[in-house]
Amino acid sequence: MNSLPLVLSMGDCCGIGPEIIAMAFRHAEAANAFVLGDVAVMRRAAAQTGGALPVAVIEQADDAVKCPPNCVPVLQAQSLPGDLVAAPQGQVDARAGTAAAACVHQGVALAQAGKVQAIVTAPIHKQALAAAGVKFAGHTEMLQAWSGASAVRMMLVNDELRTVLVTVHLSLREAIDRVTFETVLETLRIAHRWSPLWGQTAPRIAVAGLNPHAGEGGLFGDEELTQIAPAIAAARAEGIDARGPFAPDTVFMRARNVPAAPGAPAGTAARHGEFDLVVAMTHDHALIPIKYLGIEQGVNVTLGLPFVRTSPDHGTSFDIAGRGVANPSSLLAAMRLARQLTQGKSSLNLRT
């Protein structure tokens, strides 16, 4: 087992990130983990989620293991606004955007220095980042730039489905232009190469089309014929088990591991999917089926980084921020998956 701690970046302090983190530290998954964030914000979150949860200030990552159970170790992040706790919960605030980016930046530095086992990021708000002058659209873009990774991809996963995205945070018009032979082939390579992290050396990859009915032979668009199918053929020539393109409205049903009836042993599937993962062309093609199956267990994973990074599959939920009613299940799932993926990491050289 990896003895290094997990680091949780605090996320947007005006959203539910600090609250779900405080809730998570009441569970076993939080053992040997710490928060990179603001001590005052985390103390407020502890109070808002039931109290009786001490927040301990630590000086370095190694100190996390020394803290007692049911305690939130917090490493005060560098370069945070001094009045961060005054940023109003439930609203976009530039101070929150500045702090969220600073926590991620320092978390990347800790991971690259070998001080932490993995990074688990709490939700951030893209408008707050923009208000703070942060040039990146979200976590995926920040992590790629600050880690020096040449190419990364977003993967969404739960117990029933796994999907990897070709394009992420772009307008739909721009995303369509980015669906090219090169980007599809690169996505297939990344998905295949990182699959040993979750125990698959030869994943069966289904490729979803871009257009309705996967273009219907060119009647509804030709990207499948001119870009996607050639990329699949090139991937297969490299030994990647990629198939398709399939109609994007049905391929996820074919790939889904249908759970067994209530009362069956944990992890039992009534029907295993035809595929191990689906490569989808656009953000919503991939995220809608995952979220429909249940946000509570959905996890976002960034493939292609030189370290493991996961996050909950939901946003900042400004509408309930500060009320102490947010559900930490997705964050807990992200913490569990981060630990599992670090155990498989030894079989890969993630830096090349």
Residues 19, 142 share a domain: yes
CB 294 within 8 Å of CB 158: yes
Phi (first) and psi of residue 116, to 5 degrees: -135, 155
Q: How far is CA 170 from the centre of its chain?
A: 17
Domain boundary among 272, 293, 314: 293
Task: Round to whole Å and give the CA distance between 95 and 236.
Answer: 48
Phi (first) and psi of residue 277, to 5 degrees: -160, 160
Kindly report, residue by residue over 145-185, the tens digit of the pLDDT. Answer: 999 999 999 999 998 999 999 999 899 999 999 999 999 99
Domain assignment present for residue 301? The answer is: no
Domain assignment present for residue 300? The answer is: no
- Residue 245 preceded by cis peptide, ω within 30: yes
b/e string for 140-170 if b means 16 or more Cβ within 10 A?
A: bbbbbebbebeebbbbbbbebbbbbbbbbbe
CB atoms within 10 A of CB 201: 8
Residues in Cβ contact with 155 at an 8 Å cutoff, skipping those fewer than 6 apart? 162, 163, 164, 165, 191, 277, 300, 301, 302, 303
Domain assignment present for residue 299? The answer is: no
Give me the pLDDT at residue 269, please. 62
Residues 280, 163 share a domain: yes
Residues 163, 145 share a domain: no
Give me the pLDDT at residue 68, please. 85
> Quick one: DSSP state of residue 65?
G
CB 248 within 8 Å of CB 285: yes
Domain assignment present for residue 284? The answer is: yes
pTM: 0.90
Distances in whole angstroms, Cα of residue 136 to Cα of each of 27, 101, 124, 146: 33, 9, 12, 11
Q: Count of domains in the chain?
A: 2
Task: Round to whole Å and give the CA distance between 33 and 35.
Answer: 7
Domain assignment present for residue 154? The answer is: no
Give me the pLDDT at residue 36, please. 98
Nearest to 276 by CA among 295, 299, 252, 300: 252
Residues 213, 76 share a domain: no
CB 282 within 8 Å of CB 187: no
> Which SS3 state, helix, strand or coil, does residue 34 take?
strand
Residues 240, 181 share a domain: yes
Residues 189, 70 share a domain: no
Instruction: State which residues of the chain have pLDDT below 70.
Output: 1-2, 266-269, 345-352
b/e string for 5-36 if b means 16 or more Cβ within 10 A?
A: bbbbbbbbbbbbbbbbbbbbbbeebbebbbbb
CB atoms within 10 A of CB 248: 23
Residues 53, 33 share a domain: yes
Q: How far is CA 34 from the centre of its chain?
A: 18
CB 283 within 8 Å of CB 215: no
Segments forming the whole domain that contains residue 163: 159-293
Give me the pLDDT at residue 352, please. 34
Query: Domain with 242 in it: what CATH number?
Result: 3.40.718.10
Domain assignment present for residue 343? The answer is: yes
CB 8 within 8 Å of CB 122: yes
Residues 206, 131 share a domain: no
